[in-house]
A and B are shown apart, each in its own frame.
Chain A
Amino acid sequence: MTEEIIIAGFGGQGVLSMGKILAYSGVMADQEVAWFPSYGPEMRGGTANVTVILSESRISSPVLNEYDTAIILNQQSMDKFEAMVKPGGVLIYDPNGIIHPPKRTDINIYKIEGTLIAAELGNVKTFNMVVLGAYLKAKPVVKMESVEKGLQKSLPTRHHYLIPMNLEAVQKGFESLELVQAV
């Protein structure tokens, strides 16, 4: 099984680190992984995206023209990546800031109120972990224990005290995914 994911949003939303934690979780579950970021003169408020591939076998191209799952966190990314979800694939988006919701009728669409939930949790920086939890509800590609191990591996030791808060956010996201359309 191979899962090809694009995570796209604003710089500063934690798009790259969400991808990194997902990739580490894959490593912990003994999967092959690739993490390929858009890089460049990017900054907070600009666009950022990352391709993450999890697979049971050797991964070929880190550059893709279609994805199993798109996690979309701003309108620019919706405009760019909605069309690139494989038919029957999954699109997850945070409606905050989305003016034109997805129109595809041949894909599974989910919503996650990540921005609201992170604010309710009292730390807006946990936004990306809420979204990660929502994704894992839609696509259980790695187990929660692998995510915990992934967090331990990817965060420097001095930040390990933040892991419980992050796991709470993942759990909250997992419970809060809303189905918009199933095919």
Chain B
Amino acid sequence: MGELRLMKGNEVIAEAAIRCGCDGYFGYPITPQSEVMETLMDREPWNETGMVVLQAESEIASIHMVHGAAGSGKKVMTSSSSPGISLMAEGISYLAGAELPCLIVNVQRGGPGLGTIQPSQADYWQSTKGGGHGDYRLIVLAPSSVQEMNDFVELGFKLAFKYRNPAMILTDGVIGQMMEKVVLADYIPRLTDEEINEKYGSWVTNGRKHNRQRNIITSLEMDSVRMENNNLRLQEKYARMEEEDVLFEEIQCEDAEYLLVAFGSSSRICQKAVDQAREKGIKVGLLRPISLFPFPKKPIAVLAKQVKGMLVVEMNAGQMIEDVQLAAGCSIPVKHFGRMGGIIPSPGEVVEALEQKLIGG
């Protein structure tokens, strides 16, 4: 256990997929995530574990290949970056509607449109509140280190299968392109067809054997009463996620008078900002949502009673701030600091924003 390597975040996604017993990857290249498929092609896992790696003709084809393979109970994934995820949005809604588990990795870049290849966090809304049509949710995990890029591949699959729901790793060019030390997981063998039948026989469409009940996978239901019931079942599932699988990290919050709230790469920048602010005598802490859906509402509500104000730091124009405001209520000021278009804020800028927007204001 515990092979130590120095790797890029994107490379680790590929390595972790092979090691966690992933059955298939379907993708299409786009900066800044192309190393995911490059690493997979280089590693040739089809020789080692039997994992399929396929470059599709487009992102749209990739997500529908994921749909087909997921329907047979296979552990499958895709990855892309912002514009590519937009292309996949229809397929993601279908996967959520058909209640199929899969893993989607979004290494975000700046938008809107073709935007820039530099890092951004402007797909928060797209990931947590839709992107595709209909009342659906994704399980969204936001890693803040190369180690978490490794850990969240297996975790994402675990949660996806627990809820029969697509899971997303929402990261960006900073974590994807950065190299850090990572302890790789041990190999988990891929499930055999017998094991898939045993575990997921109640829903998989992999050929009717042993006279089992016919399984149907579809998101279509023309009867409104039944369709509403389908929606209610989905909503119950999302409520259960909010009960059971909220993930977050609190850093130096015990004595905090002000709170930074940030996810992913922004939270790394904010950790440094916390240190810099504390050197100046400002008691500030950091709350890092790890699961963006389900969102850590409770710890924010608790800290809202303790601190004088919150600064939400994101590489966008202000998206997660809406969830923070809802959780914090109206008793304290909740402000936003963000950079856009591929600009990464520095820790110094965050401290300055904290002083200007909260402490001075």
Contacts and interface: CB of A to CB of B under 8 A. Distances in A.
Given A62-B174, A63-B174, A34 B180 contact: yes
Contact of B177 (A32, A37, A41, A65): A37
A40 B118 contact: yes
A161 interface: no
A36 B4 contact: no
Interface string B1-18: 000101000000000000
Nearest to A24: B6
Contacts of A61: 268-273, 346-347
B6 A64 contact: no
A154 B268 CA distance: 26
Nearest to B349: A65
Interface residues of B, number: 27
What is the interface residue range for chain A against chain B?
20 to 34
B178 A35 contact: yes
Contact of B181 (A32, A39, A40, A63): A32
B271 A33 contact: no
B8 to A, nearest CB: 8
A66 interface: yes
A40 B346 contact: no
Interface string A107-148: 000000000000000000000000000000000000000000
Interface core residue of A24, A59, A63, A154 (most chain B CB under 10 Å): A63
A153 B181 CA distance: 13
A19 B285 CA distance: 32
Contacts of A24: 6
Contact of A27 (B4, B347, B348): B4
Nearest to A50: B179
Given A35-B180, A61-B272, A153-B6, 20 more contacts: A23-B6, A32-B181, A33-B179, A34-B180, A35-B179, A39-B177, A40-B118, A59-B180, A60-B268, A60-B269, A60-B272, A61-B346, A61-B347, A62-B174, A62-B268, A63-B265, A63-B269, A63-B346, A64-B347, A65-B347
| Cβ-closest 10 pairs across A and B | A60-B271, A65-B346, A61-B272, A35-B179, A60-B272, A65-B348, A61-B269, A36-B178, A63-B344, A61-B268
